[in-house]
Amino acid sequence: MSGRISFFAQVNRNFDKAAAFTGLGRDLLRQIKQCNCVYQVVFPLKRDDGSIEVIRAYRAEHSQHKLPTKGGIRYAPNVNEDEVKALSALMTYKCAVVDVPFGGAKGGIKINPWKYSEAELERVTRRYTVELIRKNFIGPGIDVPAPDFGSGAREMSWIADTYMMMSTGELDAMGCVTGKPVAQGGIRGRTEATGLGVFYGIREACSQPEDMKQIGLDPGMEGKRVVVQGLGNVGYHAARFIQDAGGVLVGFAEYEGAIYSYKGLDLEAVMNHRKETGSILDFPGAKNLPNSSDALELDCDILIPAALENQIHSENAPRIKAKVIAEAANGPVTSDASELLKERGVLVIPDNFLNAGGVIVSYFEWIKNLSHVRFGRMGRRFDQQAYQRLLKGVEQATNHSFSEAEYTELARGADELDLVRSGLEDTMVTAYHSIREIKLQKGEKADLRTAAFVDAITKVALCYQELGIFP
Ligand code: GLU
């Protein structure tokens, strides 16, 4: 396993591979690659039992070529400086690929959130926020955190509340963080955004007849056999949308082990089983796999690693049977493994495109906060009435009457969720075709990851060039 090469070094290897295709100058490339700022802070936490624990936390801002910088906060015991730097770099490239006008950032709190009470997590989160404020590492125009592994809407609401307490009268204060609960400045559709984006990305990749032919698959989602590693927010929602589109979920992997059934597993039934028994194992009709990571090597069409980085490495890559690997997590396939898989003709849909759904909808939330109005509020009823007039015209011209149900469906004006989903779908589909086009232009040597990096590097470079520093 290429664990010896640090995560950030792996991201930079992928960067270097792509940089060679860009023709950009060495100095400019060196500047883009660096992580511009890293803030490390240590603070005490008073536990509920009165004892004191020392908490270490980070915020890395990779690139300020566009502001604010953007990226989630990870709550996990293995958080470290290299990881947040790597993840912040991936945020820069991801935002560039999907044309979301942010620089990249990432935060991390070195803590196992499942071992702390809600009150303790609230104290940690509020303290972390204050530390960020003190160093100017947060603000609607500076750096805007979001959920990541181990955090969610609850943590984001504590961040927003802490920030707002300390920024009296700042009109745009709500835009200091995204992924908030809807009642607290959040946006509908943010929770499932990353998983839905993963689905849109896979669906688009699988609908290209020539690409599917090359790997021996039929176009379309119907009947595709899918294995998902990680049933957290991203994996669960991606699996749900895939199942709804006719994909067959044949395997799941979680901490406690993995399960497999060639006939397919019903997602909700597996989730309920896990809730009841505390484990996905022993699900009726499924086979248990001794090691969770064995699920990665199952016979399937699409493998979705939706957990953490470094899951598919040079050691297990030769045994992967999937024809498509969809990187729902950040960095699940190491750079060495990427090479091996490319040689074997496996289609890897890269993280820096595929899991961008979260930040895309975060962008919509941030715009909503800055504009202080819900999407659809101004136009929904007007559109509905215009469609109704149109339907009446059709009725008069054709002598056909629409039913009440048809009226409701056909004359519906778009609400916030409709607009968020349509914006997300359009962004994912457009970005997929941009990187696919670059891949085709660059020929055999470039895979989709390299193409996405070429796209990102070129866009970031243009910003620097426009500043006039790098002609
Ligand atoms: N943590 C998510 C990611 O890795 C979302 C980031 C955001 O919304 O800013 O893309």
Q: Which residues are catalytic?
A: 106
Q: Given pLDDT bands bounded at 50, 70 and 90, which one contains residue 444?
A: confident
Q: For residue 402, how far is its CA from the centre of ligand 1 (angstroms)?
A: 44
Instruction: Decide: 240 in ligand 1 pocket, CB within 6 A.
Output: no
3-state secondary structure of 75: strand
Q: How far apart are CA 346 and CA 300, in angstroms?
A: 12
Instruction: Decide: 146 in ligand 1 pocket, CB within 6 A.
Output: yes
Q: What is the DSSP letter of 253?
A: E
**Cα dihedral across residues 221, 223, 228, 234: positive or negative:** positive
Q: For residue 366, how far is its CA from the centre of ligand 1 (angstroms)?
A: 13
Percent of the chain with pLDDT over 90: 96
Instruction: Decide: 330 in ligand 1 pocket, CB within 6 A.
Output: yes
Instruction: Decide: 211 in ligand 1 pocket, CB within 6 A.
Output: no
Q: How many CB atoms lie within 10 A of CB 365?
A: 28
Pocket test for ligand 1, best of 148, 159, 190 (most atoms within 8 A of CB): 148
pLDDT higher than threshold 50 for residue 2: no
Kindly report, residue by residue over 300-348, the tens digit of the pLDDT: 999 999 998 999 999 999 999 999 999 999 999 999 999 999 999 999 9
> What mean pLDDT is predicted for residues 274-282?
97
Query: What is the structure's pLDDT at 4?
Result: 75
> What mean pLDDT is predicted for residues 201-224?
97
Instruction: Decide: 358 in ligand 1 pocket, CB within 6 A.
Output: yes
3-state secondary structure of 358: helix
Query: What is the structure's pLDDT at 290?
Result: 84
pTM for this prediction: 0.96
Kindly report, residue by residue over 168-206, the tens digit of the pLDDT: 999 999 999 999 999 999 999 999 999 999 999 999 999
Contacts of 447 (CB under 8 A, 6+ apart): 338, 342, 348, 350, 439
> What mean pLDDT is predicted for residues 410-439?
97
Query: What is the structure's pLDDT at 471?
Result: 74
Q: For residue 72, how far is its CA from the centre of ligand 1 (angstroms)?
A: 5
Helix (H) or strand (E) holding 106: strand 103-110
Instruction: Decide: 71 in ligand 1 pocket, CB within 6 A.
Output: yes
Q: Could you tell me the CA-to-CA distances from 170 to 164, 175, 187, 247, 367 in Å, in that order?
A: 8, 10, 20, 47, 16
Closest atom of ligand 1 to 179 CA is: 8
> What mean pLDDT is predicted for residues 89-113?
98
pLDDT higher than threshold 90 for residue 9: yes
Instruction: Decide: 362 in ligand 1 pocket, CB within 6 A.
Output: yes
> What mean pLDDT is predicted for residues 420-429?
98
Closest atom of ligand 1 to 330 CA is: 4
Q: For residue 319, how far is its CA from the centre of ligand 1 (angstroms)?
A: 31
Pocket test for ligand 1, best of 194, 327, 361, 367 (most atoms within 8 A of CB): 194
Contacts of 465 (CB under 8 A, 6+ apart): 28, 471
Q: Which residue has the tokens 């990541």?
A: 148
Q: Between the CA atoms of 72, 76, 81 and 84, what dihedral angle is there, to the nearest 10 degrees?
A: -20
Tokens of 27: 């100095």
Closest atom of ligand 1 to 145 CA is: 9
Q: For residue 223, how far is its CA from the centre of ligand 1 (angstroms)?
A: 30
Q: How far apart are CA 300 and CA 323, in angstroms?
A: 8
Instruction: Order across the sheet with 347-349: list the strands.
Output: 287-289, 257-260, 248-254, 225-229, 302-305, 324-326, 347-349
Distance of CA 336 to the CA centre of its chain: 23
Q: What is the CA radius of gyration of the chain?
A: 23
> What mean pLDDT is predicted for residues 456-460?
98
Closest atom of ligand 1 to 356 CA is: 10
Query: What is the structure's pLDDT at 445?
Result: 86
DSSP labels for 271-302? HHHHHHHSSSTT-TT-EEESSGGGGGGSS-SE
Instruction: Decide: 365 in ligand 1 pocket, CB within 6 A.
Output: no
Instruction: Decide: 173 in ligand 1 pocket, CB within 6 A.
Output: no
pLDDT, the chain, mean: 96
Q: For residue 262, how far is its CA from the centre of ligand 1 (angstroms)?
A: 33
pLDDT higher than threshold 60 for residue 385: yes
Q: How far apart are the first and last CA of the chain?
A: 41
Q: Could you tell me the CA-to-CA distances from 467 to 195, 460, 462 in Å, in that order?
A: 36, 11, 9
Instruction: Decide: 88 in ligand 1 pocket, CB within 6 A.
Output: no
> What mean pLDDT is predicted for residues 269-282?
97
Helix (H) or strand (E) holding 211: helix 209-214
Contacts of 21 (CB under 8 A, 6+ apart): 442, 446, 450, 454
Closest by CA position to 19, among listed 334, 450, 470: 450
Q: Given pLDDT bands bounded at 50, 70 and 90, which one contains residue 1?
A: very low
Q: Nearest residue CA, atom 8 of ligand 1?
A: 359
pLDDT higher than threshold 60 for residue 3: no
pLDDT higher than threshold 90 for residue 60: yes
3-state secondary structure of 74: strand
Residues 137, 143: contact at Cβ < 8 Å? Answer: yes
Q: For residue 136, how far is its CA from the centre of ligand 1 (angstroms)?
A: 20
